[in-house]
Structure 1
Amino acid sequence: MLSQEDFKPVTLADRTFFEQHYALYPQVHSDNTFTNMVCWNHYAQYTYAFVEKNIILASTIDNTTRFRPPIGPRNPTLLRALIRLASDVSDNEPIVLIDPETALWMREVCPGINLVPDRNHFEYVYRATDLAELPGKNYLTIRRQINKFRKNCTNVVEPISKENWEDVKRFLIEWCEWKGCEGDPVLAHEKEAVFFALDHFDQLPVRGLIIRVFSKVGAISLFEPMNNDTALVHFEKGLPDCEGIYKAINNEAAVRLAKKFTYINRESDLGVPGLREAKLRYHPHHMVEVYSMKRDS
Structure 2
Amino acid sequence: MKWDFKKISAEDVEILPRYFAMRSNKTCDSVFLDSFLWKDYYHVEYCICDGGRAVEWKMRINGEPFAALPLCKAEDLRHYFFDTKQYFNEVLGQKLKIYLADEAAVELLKLDPSEFDVIEQPDAADYLYDGEALRTLAGKKYHKKKNHVNAFMKEYEGRYEYRTLCCSDRSDMWRFLDRWRSMKGTQVEGTLDPEVEGIHSILNQCSMLGVRMGGVYVDGQMEAFSMGSYNAAEDMAIIHIEKANPDIRGMYPFINQQFLIHEFPHVKLVNREDDVGLPGLRKAKQSYNPIGFAKKYKIRER
CA offsets per residue over residues 144-197 of structure 1, 9 Å max, x none? 111111111231111112443222211111111111269765221111111222
Amino acid in the other structure paired with 2:207? D
> 1:143 and 1:151, CA in 2 relative to 1: closer, same or farther beyond 3 A?
same
Q: 1:23 offset after TM fit, Å?
A: 3.6
**SS at the partner of 2:191?**
helix
| Alignment partners' CA distance in 1, 2:218 and 2:85 | 52
1:213 aligned residue = 218
Farther-moved stretch of structure 1 (199-208 vs 155-164): 155-164
Residue 107 (str. 1) matches residue 110 (str. 2): yes
Amino acid in the other structure paired with 1:19? P
Residue 152 (str. 1) matches residue 138 (str. 2): no
Instruction: Give the helix-richer structure, 1 or 2.
Output: 1
1:71 aligned residue = 71
8 Å Cα contact 1:221-1:253 kept in structure 2: yes
Q: Which runs of 5+ in 2 are unaligned?
A: none
CA RMSD of aligned residues (A): 2.4
2:32 aligned residue = 34
| Alignment partners' CA distance in 1, 2:93 and 2:43 | 14
CA offsets per residue over residues 212-242 of structure 1, 9 Å max, x none? 1122111001112123401111100011341
8 Å Cα contact 1:87-1:295 kept in structure 2: no
Q: 1:130 offset after TM fit, Å?
A: 0.7
Q: 1:140 offset after TM fit, Å?
A: 0.8
> 1:21 and 1:111, CA in 2 relative to 1: closer, same or farther beyond 3 A?
same
2:138 aligned residue = 135
Count how many residue pairs are aligned between Structure 1 and Structure 2: 293
For residues 40-79 of structure 1, the aligned pairs below 5 Å read 40-52=38-50, 53-73=53-73, 74-75=75-76, 76-79=78-81
Q: 1:177 aligns with which of 174, 178, 182?
A: 182
CA offsets per residue over residues 1-60 of structure 1, 9 Å max, x none? 96xx53221112211111222343354322353212222222111111222412112221
Q: 2:286 aligns with which of 260, 271, 280?
A: 280
> 1:91 and 1:237, CA in 2 relative to 1: closer, same or farther beyond 3 A?
farther
Amino acid in the other structure paired with 2:163? E
| Alignment partners' CA distance in 1, 2:128 and 2:87 | 33
**SS at the partner of 2:106?**
helix
TM-score by length of structure 2 reads 0.88
| Alignment partners' CA distance in 2, 1:173 and 1:286 | 34
1:250 aligned residue = 256
8 Å Cα contact 1:231-1:257 kept in structure 2: no
> 1:235 and 1:183, CA in 2 relative to 1: closer, same or farther beyond 3 A?
closer
| Alignment partners' CA distance in 1, 2:189 and 2:296 | 27
2:299 aligned residue = 293
Residue 201 (str. 1) matches residue 199 (str. 2): no
2:120 aligned residue = 117
| Alignment partners' CA distance in 2, 1:78 and 1:259 | 37
Q: 1:100 offset after TM fit, Å?
A: 2.0
| Alignment partners' CA distance in 2, 1:245 and 1:239 | 7
Q: 1:83 aligns with which of 75, 82, 85?
A: 85
| Alignment partners' CA distance in 1, 2:69 and 2:160 | 45
- What's the % identity of the aligned pairs? 24
**SS at the partner of 1:43?**
coil
> 1:19 and 1:216, CA in 2 relative to 1: closer, same or farther beyond 3 A?
same
8 Å Cα contact 1:67-1:86 kept in structure 2: no
> 1:234 and 1:77, CA in 2 relative to 1: closer, same or farther beyond 3 A?
closer
| Alignment partners' CA distance in 1, 2:291 and 2:96 | 29
TM-score by length of structure 1 reads 0.89
For residues 216-235 of structure 1, the aligned pairs below 5 Å read 216-228=221-233, 229-235=235-241
| Alignment partners' CA distance in 2, 1:268 and 1:50 | 28
